[in-house]
Structure 1
Amino acid sequence: MRTYQSLSGSQNFISDIQTQSLKGEVHSTFNRTINIICDSGELYTIAAEELDNAPNTLRVTNFFNNRPQLIIKTPVYSQNGRLMIGEIAAIEIQGASEWHYPEIEFPKKQEYSKISKRVDQLQGWLIPLESTGGYLLNKKQATTYEKMLHTMLWQESEQLLAYLKEKQLFQAMKQLKRVIGLGPGLTPSGDDFLVGLALIFTTVHYPYHSLKQWLFNSRNELRKRTNIISFSALDWAIKGVARERIGSFLKELFYGESEVVLKRKMLAVLAIGSTSGGDMLTGMLEGIKLTLSLD
């Protein structure tokens, strides 16, 4: 058995290992992440050291450079302050730093003009950076199918935003079912858009409690209509938590002054997945625009 060292991890993940309360099995493996599904139904992630911190995630040194041969359903459990992966690997957490998502407060009304200008600026930057799928589609290089899917994503999402703007929350819940799961990939574009939207509605002192409550009420519907990996990101977003680079971007957007820093942090978000970053960014910007338009 080989021992690895964790660099950092989310506070609750480290705590669960320390209290020996974690028990589950390997759910899925990727080039730089391994997902663990626990008996509680909670999803945890072991991530390569070059990735940023994230909810329920432990960043581990050299784990993926000397990748152990893991198969699905390999037992995972905590023991003596270490995370054990079958009889294959042990991960030490002593010395690992605890990561917390930053507290992000929604801007006050006197700051709305500044935020609106920054959102317009971001959308201008995105035009030449459009990707090959999802909400930010480069139509010149897209297939007919990608164009059709892009149109569907925007039509269904804009209808959802329209219902939310009019506070037609029952209709919005029905429309949510048309957005969740829409698009290809492990985390469909519609799901990633909703992650971005949720992260705006769950900011500290968000001014419209009914929208935040609508989001909490949607949780069970979301769980039923997408896969566990995508739902895990959505569920954390409903709690107001996301990856480190997303929190850093939102803090810069709301509180920062530097265009150079804002653009750099926007590009860091766009680098998430193939289209996930762009889809989440779209959800965040649309959520901000919706909020600024409400009375």
Structure 2
Amino acid sequence: MKIDGMDQHFYQECVTKKRIGFRVHSVFESAVNLISQEGIWATVVSKGRWLPPNGFRVKNFPELKERLKQEDSFWMDENILPDKLIDLHIHRITEKPEQRESMEILEKKVEYLQEYLNIFGKEGFMRKPLPEKIQLSLTAFDQGLDNQDEERVKDSLQGLIGFGKGLTPSMDDYLAARILVWKIWKQIYPIKETIHFGDFVVDGAVQKTTVVSERMLQFANQGRCSEDLLRLFRMMFLSSKGPEYEDAIKEVMEIGGSSGEDWIYGIIKETKRLLVNRKGGNNA
């Protein structure tokens, strides 16, 4: 078996280790999650699927999936490493600040994203009224960010992380999106905020959510996300054409059960917050 394409960061890990043994963590229709004894996370997906952080693609995915169901192990070595590497880091966006979208157009893009979600969104978790305790924690989180109050941010996260269903609970998807928006914004627009809340999210997630979600939040805090999300961020924050932007939204909406929608809710909320602050709010 030869790997068809691989996350560039994961490739460097594999080259450094030379040989890594993985066990199967979870199996899905078009993806299998693997984890090594050292705690290295990897996801193998079928050809044509968007690549996640620490992911790789194979052409003969159905056969590999059946094999992994039986053997429950997978070895990665230099013999199967690919020629095609994919950079899944947000510096692909932030290294071109001269192409950043104007505030006026960005506001319109956020409005369009919200309207698209209102029309085509499903009855996902974030679409319904949140339980009172969760809403109070979310309000406290936003107030903590606006007032640059680290302790309030940390305390509020205890009521948010891990809330929801699935391998990546809805609130974790939402928080991961907000982390990435903040990181992108910080690189391409002036900002005075000093709280790196992604660090608090990652610390607070330890043994409080699923292993898959914990890894996702770690990747987000490193500035890494899947190809489809990276494309949406690029279409949103850099100059782009309307049809390209809409296609990118559609792709993200199709992620998981409601995960794509939860990500979009987070993108909308954090972008709106930073736009308000830039216009004369507390911090930007």
Larger fraction in helix: 2
Residue 77 of structure 1 is aligned with which of 54, 75, 78?
A: 75
5 Å-filtered alignment, 1:1-295, equals 4-19=1-16, 20-64=18-62, 67-71=65-69, 74-79=72-77, 81-82=78-79, 92-95=80-83, 97-101=84-88, 102-103=90-91, 104-105=93-94, 111-137=102-128, 156-203=137-184, 204-205=187-188, 207-211=191-195, 213-294=196-277, 295=281
- Alpha-carbon distance change, 280 to 21 in structure 1, aligned in 2, over 3 angstroms: same
Give the match's secondary structure for 2:269: helix
- State the one-letter code of the partner of 2:149: Q
1:264 is displaced (CA, Å) by 1.4
User: Which contiguous aligned blocks of 4+ residues in structure 1 show a shift greater than 4 angstroms?
Assistant: 106-110, 151-155
- State the one-letter code of the partner of 1:210: T
Is this contact kept in 2: 1:45–1:56, CA < 8 A?
yes
Give the match's secondary structure for 1:164: helix
Residues 140-182 of structure 1: per-residue CA shift (max 9 Å, x gap): xxxxxxx665x76555434422321222221111111111111
1:21 is displaced (CA, Å) by 4.3
TM-score, structure 2 as length reference: 0.85
Q: Percent identity?
A: 21
Larger fraction in strand: 1
1:231 is displaced (CA, Å) by 1.0
106-115 vs 23-32, greater mean Cα deviation:
106-115
1:218 is displaced (CA, Å) by 3.5
1:263 is displaced (CA, Å) by 1.4
Is this contact kept in 2: 1:26–1:36, CA < 8 A?
yes
Residues 206-242 of structure 1: per-residue CA shift (max 9 Å, x gap): 624423x232244221123111101111111011110
- Alpha-carbon distance change, 36 to 110 in structure 1, aligned in 2, over 3 angstroms: closer
Return the alpha-carbon distance in structure 2 between the equivalents of residues 208 and 194 of structure 1.
20
- Alpha-carbon distance change, 121 to 154 in structure 1, aligned in 2, over 3 angstroms: farther
Structure 1 vs Structure 2 CA RMSD: 2.6
Is this contact kept in 2: 1:24–1:76, CA < 8 A?
yes
Return the alpha-carbon distance in structure 2 between the equivalents of residues 78 and 209 of structure 1.
41
